[in-house]
Amino acid sequence: MSQIDVADIDIAALRTQFLGHEFDAKAFEIEAEEIIVFARACGEQAPRYLDAEHPDFQAPPTFTSSLMTNRQMPEAFPSIDGLTLNAGKSLELLKPVRPGRVTGRSQLHDLYEKTGRSGRMVFIVSRMALYDDDDTLLALSDSRQVIREKPRRADP
């Protein structure tokens, strides 16, 4: 697939074609020990994160950041030629994540542009929604990337 320069991207067309369509799903089997190891690594001290026998045992709120589906972008999404940067991640925990099966479903949530001193920048927000076996929404995990125009080289 050929690359499209950041300056040539049609944001409106990409939004129409790709936003809100699930492009990947993955089932995760969350183990109690996995939650405990993660909680310890984060320095958690609350028993509800460290003791599998606790009546409210659950994963720490940031645990969902360790889960990823197989694809970060839809298969047909164009390859954009520019400087790609990680623009951060946000997590929204709606219900506790507990041991058992959790399914992550990914879609492009937002796509927008800004122009700055360095030129045009395209922002892509990929959202993974996590559901339990009853199809209850547990958490939202948004990953952002920015692709900016490559700097123009000055003539010698």
Q: What is the pLDDT of residues 70-101, one digit of tens each?
A: 998 999 999 888 889 999 999 999 999 999 99
Q: What is the pTM of this model?
A: 0.86
Q: Is residue 81 part of a domain?
A: yes
How high is the pLDDT of residue 153? 67
The count of domains in the chain is 1
Average of per-residue pLDDT values in the chain: 92
Please, is 123 exposed, middle or buried when counting C-beta atoms within 10 Å of its C-beta (0-12, 13-18, 19+)?
Answer: middle
Range of the domain at 73: 3-30+69-148
Asked whether the predicted pLDDT for residue 155 surpasses 60, the reply is: no
Residue 98 CB contacts under 8 Å (≥ 6 apart), including other chains: 30, 57, 58, 59
Q: Is residue 62 part of a domain?
A: no
Give the single-character DSSP code of 19.
B
- The CATH number covering residue 76 comes to 3.10.129
Q: Is residue 154 part of a domain?
A: no
Tens-digit pLDDT profile for residues 42-77 = 999 999 999 999 999 999 999 999 999 999 899 999
User: For residue 2, what pLDDT band results from cuts at 50, 70 and 90?
Assistant: low
Q: Is residue 98 part of a domain?
A: yes
How high is the pLDDT of residue 154? 60
The SS3 assignment for 8 reads helix
